[in-house]
Amino acid sequence: MANSKFEYVKQFEQPDQLLPNTWVVVRIDGRGFTKFSSKYQFEKPNDKRALDLMNAAARAVMTELPDITIAYGVSDEYSFVFHKTCTLFERRASKLVSTIVSTFTAYYVHLWSTYFTDSPLSPPLPSFDGRAVCYPSVQNLRDYMSWRQVDCHINNLYNTTFWALIQLGGIDATEAEKSLKGTFSADKNEILFSKFSINYNNEPEIFKKGSVVFRDYEPVEPGTHNVAHEVENLAEPATQSKSQSEKDKKRRAKAAIVVEHLDIIKDEFWDRRPWLLS
Ligand code: ATP
Ligand code: ATP
Ligand code: MG
Ligand code: MG
Ligand code: MG
Ligand code: MG
Ligand code: MG
């Protein structure tokens, strides 16, 4: 590379490497989506097209970045989890965050017309912010995921009741807000049921639980040769040769990426998919 008298400016760049051996979570969030969702007349409280579009963009991000283990999305936000051994971009935070944000945004715009067939995008176009946070233990990471899913639940119960009061109860937003002030979950469930015959438990899972995106390997019987069996071997990195880890990387990249609406707070989800956190 040519040396020039200008090259010293490179030294102004600050290192931003994330702590090694920690789970890196990049969370992105739609900028000004309160306004954006009203511009495109998102159905309240939950526009299914908008959620499907978020999920499709997240799936595309995971396809392009095989280092992402799992992702969780709700409303206008998505959290992408990089495995703790990930060395992509030497773990530089700005590189990781900006790549996720721009890849996600590009797909969100590209796929928009598939989900919003009769309302073409016009400026101001959708954009997302992003941040990276390191979680040192599996427990911290699981608590992070639980935190987001609890948030989904609390917001969705509130919003479902709030919009039922307006759309079905015929009161305005100020009155609805007033009648929900100081209420607990049980009260909201009761309002929904007694006033509107809505059983909150029967609301769509995608609204209640958000969306979890991961590479799917079917758990299998020991001795059966398939992807899932081989993936279990990933749990023994010490004995893994270079070519083995290359193969694993390829296999990971090939595995189907699924979007589900499952409980990620309880152990069951993780116990059934031990490769996610190993
Ligand atoms: P900021 O730029 O600070 O994030 P924001 O307006 O995006 O501001 P958020 O707290 O991120 O604020 O809230 C997201 C907004 O987008 C909420 O008002 C929410 O109702 C709306 N929204 C997001 N997804 C959907 C959806 N699928 N259906 C209906 N509304 C949605
Ligand atoms: P990285 O992901 O690390 O940035 P890269 O392949 O994008 O990898 P850069 O150092 O960013 O590497 O280099 C950009 C590349 O794109 C160069 O090969 C450059 O020649 C090519 N390129 C960019 N803009 C143009 C252009 N307008 N015309 C022709 N080639 C271009
Ligand atoms: Mg925000
Ligand atoms: Mg937002
Ligand atoms: Mg948000
Ligand atoms: Mg360049
Ligand atoms: Mg480049």
Q: Tokens in use for 35?
A: 């306004």
Cα 27 vs. chain centroid, distance in angstroms?
7
- Ligand 1 pocket mutation pick from 34, 119, 129 by most atoms within 8 angstroms of CB: 34
121: CA distance to ligand 6 center in Å? 29
Nearest CA to ligand 1 atom 19: 34
Stretch 267-273: mean pLDDT: 95
Least confidently predicted of 29-33, 129-133, 150-154, 217-221: 217-221
Q: Residue 77 forms beta bridges with which residues?
A: 29, 74
> Which ipTM did the prediction report?
0.92
The two counts, helices (H) then strands (E), for the chain are 10, 6
Nearest CA to ligand 1 atom 29: 46
Is any ligand 1 atom within 6 A of the Cβ of residue 31? yes
Is any ligand 1 atom within 6 A of the Cβ of residue 46? yes
pLDDT value at residue 220: 36
Stated length of the chain: 278
- Statement: residue 21 has pLDDT above 50: yes
| Pure H helices in 168-241 | 173-180, 185-196, 205-209, 227-232
φ and ψ of 75, to 5 deg? 55, -130
195: CA distance to ligand 4 center in Å? 31
Is any ligand 1 atom within 6 A of the Cβ of residue 51? yes
Domain 17-216+256-276 grouped into CATH 3.90.1150.180: no
Three-state DSSP state, 240 = coil
Ligand with an atom nearest the CA of residue 210: 1
Are residues 82 and 23 in contact, defined by beta-carbon separation less than 8 angstroms? Answer: yes
Residue 121 half-sphere exposure toward CB, CA atoms < 13 A: 16
Q: How far apart are CA 46 and CA 278, in angstroms?
A: 34
Are residues 45 and 162 in contact, defined by beta-carbon separation less than 8 angstroms? Answer: yes
117-144 pLDDT, tens digit per residue, is 999 999 999 999 999 999 999 999 999 9
Confidence of residue 1 (pLDDT cuts 50, 70, 90): low
**What is the DSSP code (8-state) at residue 19?**
P
72-125 pLDDT, tens digit per residue, is 999 999 999 999 999 999 999 999 999 999 999 999 999 999 999 999 999 999
192-215 pLDDT, tens digit per residue, is 999 999 999 999 999 999 999 999
Mean pLDDT of the chain: 92
Stretch 233-254: mean pLDDT: 65
In degrees, rounded to 5, the angle at the alpha carbon of residue 114 between the alpha carbons of residues 112 and 117 is 90
